[in-house]
Amino acid sequence: MLNSKRYPSLVIAIIVSAALILTGCGLTTEPTKNTTLSASIPVDGGLFRFGMISSPTALDPAFLVEVNGIEIAKELYDGLIRYDPNTLEVKPAIAEKWDYSADKKVLTFHIRKDVKFHDGTGVNAQDILDVWNRLAAKATVSPVAFPLEPIVGFAEVNSGAAQTISGLKKIDDYTIEVTLKEKNAAFLTSLGHPTVSIYKLEAAKKAGQDFGTPASTPETIVGTGAFKFVKWNSDQDITIEKFKDYYGTKAHVDQVVYRIFKDESTALNEFRAGTLDYVDLLPPGQSQAIIQEFPDQTIKTITFTNEFIGFNLSKAPFKDNVYLRKAIAYAIDPQSVVDSILSGLSTVSNGPLPITMPGYDKDLICPSFDQTKAKEYLAKAGYPEGKGLAPIQYAYNFNQTNQIIAEAFQSQLKEVGIPTELKSMEWGSYINAVQQGDTQMFRLAWGADYPDPDNSLRVLYTKSQWGMNNNTFYSNPQVETLMTQGLEENDTLKRMAIYKTIQEKLVEDQPAIWTFNTTYLRLFGKNVHDLTISALDQKDMRTVWLSK
């Protein structure tokens, strides 16, 4: 022991010297580029190696609750409609066309006759009805059956009182009639969610509990998409291959292997080693260095996810005190967070809708960083210079980024005299506390499931969603009426005008401060072409091709 003590000062000297050298060697940051891919003549063939961070939980459409499952499932299963990967407009898929009844409550879908399951058998109307009835069934316990909720008879099937949805009718082998409870302009768009996509129910039933799990086989996952299932090695990789009898535009690559990583750094190192063509998530804090290391090989996507700071309107200090909410909205500076903490890789929100969402009002005037106005509103709220205001609890689910952002906002609020206490919690306890109204001010994000403003607004700001998705406990009868009108209006221009008014009302009432639109940076190989990533954060494997 004594001998080993003779050299510590030397060791310390070396370490401290190394520290001094290293601390002087930091990389300088540069603004992030918004890179897009250029198209040229596609080449068919090859294996696309997709670096995916964390494993999908399921490939059963009835249990697509997270992004990675959706990412793969949308390639395996087609729905009645699909979204254009660039514009997110509704396009025909299994249904080649559809008609509305005069009262807009009945939709008739005309099914293509050339759609085949991956086992070569044809798809008909009954297959669609069977899959949707399974999704709605009580026994299925699907957490994502929401697209079917507007159909007459859904509630009965979902509660176990009926076996089949009465509002679903097969007219002939290639025609389906869907009757809605009310006019619903968002229903058609919602059918692009992979949870309502079509697969061979008979094969799924044979698999039983194994359907959509790593125990799946090509005989049990029999879909309708441009790719068919090959294998799923649990926590390692999932392989899909081009379906040669696909009815639509066929994929260019022969196979896609989704290699599963537990952390971003390992995936990045594999990319550097040349064993991946694409990395889906990059290590936090390294985006600028990665852009420098791989110029013209990154792509930036602004998603449908809007982050916000919600105010609990069910109790003090925010109940009936819009001035205090406005004071906070003027006191914080999200742009400074984007510029520093988020390395320029996020987008400041301007209102309740993500900037990529149809109906987003770019002219909407939201409170933006202005300390003078913040102090004015604070005085109007009854707390001049913050006097008499007890520290407000600002809660967030724990991760380093959320924590650092919370510290930044806490400091900015302190500058105008608003005291806050930070409260970090793990996700399970956190969401429970938020939904039960046990927090005062909280950080949340909402990612829209489909490209329709209803999915971002009605879900978060109507009374029927209190304690579920509406955790600010906001309710305004005028807004509720407008939400219903927006859902029932089929004229797109008139509809968007309604959502513009809703956005203005929400900004006026300020139940939340909309902070950031989640933005991702992705990395792809030099041989990767025509990779499109939509605002739904989905990468289209049908368009991508690899140069030799």
Partner 1 sequence: MWARLRTDWVAIFGLFLVLLAVIFAFCAEIIAPYDPLQVAMYESLEAPSFDHIMGTDILGRDVFSRIIYGARPSLIIGVVATSISLLIGLIIGAIAGYYGGWLDSLLMRITDVFLAFPFFLLAIAILTFLGTNLVNIFIALSMVGWTNYARLVRGQVISLRHRDYVKAARSIGANDSRIILRHVLPNILAPVIIYTTMNVGVIILAEAGLSFLGLGVQPPHPSWGLMLAEGKDYFFAASWTVIWPGIAIFLTVLGYNLLGDGLRSALDPRQ
Min dist. Cβ of residue 309 to partner 1 (A): 17
- Our finding on whether 422 is near partner 1 (CB under 8 A) is yes
- Our finding on whether 160 is near partner 1 (CB under 8 A) is no
**520 DSSP assignment:** E
Furthest-apart CA atoms within the chain: distance in Å: 93
Q: Residue 450: how many CA atoms within 13 Å on its side-chain side?
A: 23
Q: Which of residues 338-367 bind partner 1 (CB under 8 A)?
A: 339-341
Q: What are phi and psi of 249, to 5 degrees?
A: -65, 125
**Of residues 270 and 488, the one with the C-beta less far from partner 1:** 270
What contacts 203, CB < 8 A, 6 or more positions away? 119, 219, 220, 221, 222
- Our finding on whether 400 is near partner 1 (CB under 8 A) is yes
**Of residues 220 and 297, the one with the C-beta less far from partner 1:** 297
Interface residue with partner 1 among 13, 14, 15, 161 (CB under 8 A) is: 15
β-strand pairing of 168-172 with 90-92: unpaired
Q: Which of residues 21-60 bind partner 1 (CB under 8 A)?
A: 22-27, 29
- Our finding on whether 403 is near partner 1 (CB under 8 A) is yes
**Of residues 92 and 283, the one with the C-beta less far from partner 1:** 283
Q: Residue 302: which of 355, 362, 359 has the closest Cα?
A: 355
Min dist. Cβ of residue 424 to partner 1 (A): 6
Stretch that binds partner 1, among 20-28, 111-119, 188-196, 380-388 (CB under 8 A): 20-28
β-strand pairing of 278-279 with 512-524: antiparallel
Residue type, position 276, single letter: L
Q: Residue 289: which of 29, 51, 21 has the closest Cα?
A: 29
- Our finding on whether 431 is near partner 1 (CB under 8 A) is no
Min dist. Cβ of residue 421 to partner 1 (A): 9
- Our finding on whether 244 is near partner 1 (CB under 8 A) is no
Helix (H, G, I), strand (E, B) or coil at 545: strand
How many residues in total does the chain contain? 548
Helix (H, G, I), strand (E, B) or coil at 53: strand
Q: Where are the alpha helices (DSSP H) in 390-517?
A: 400-415, 427-435, 454-461, 477-488, 492-509
**Of residues 24 and 388, the one with the C-beta less far from partner 1:** 24
Stretch that binds partner 1, among 179-187, 210-218, 295-303, 405-413 (CB under 8 A): 405-413
Q: Residue 534: which of 70, 195, 87 has the closest Cα?
A: 87
Lay out the site mask for partner 1 across 274-303 (x = CB under 8 A, - = otherwise): ---------xxxx-xx--------------
**Of residues 17 and 275, the one with the C-beta less far from partner 1:** 17
Q: How far apart (Å, rounded) are the C-alpha atoms in residues 257 and 260? A: 9
**Of residues 280 and 333, the one with the C-beta less far from partner 1:** 333
> Which residues of the shown chain bind partner 1 in the complex (CB under 8 A)?
1-2, 5-6, 8-9, 12, 15-16, 19, 22-27, 29, 283-286, 288-289, 333, 336-337, 339-341, 398, 400-401, 403-404, 406-408, 410-412, 422, 424
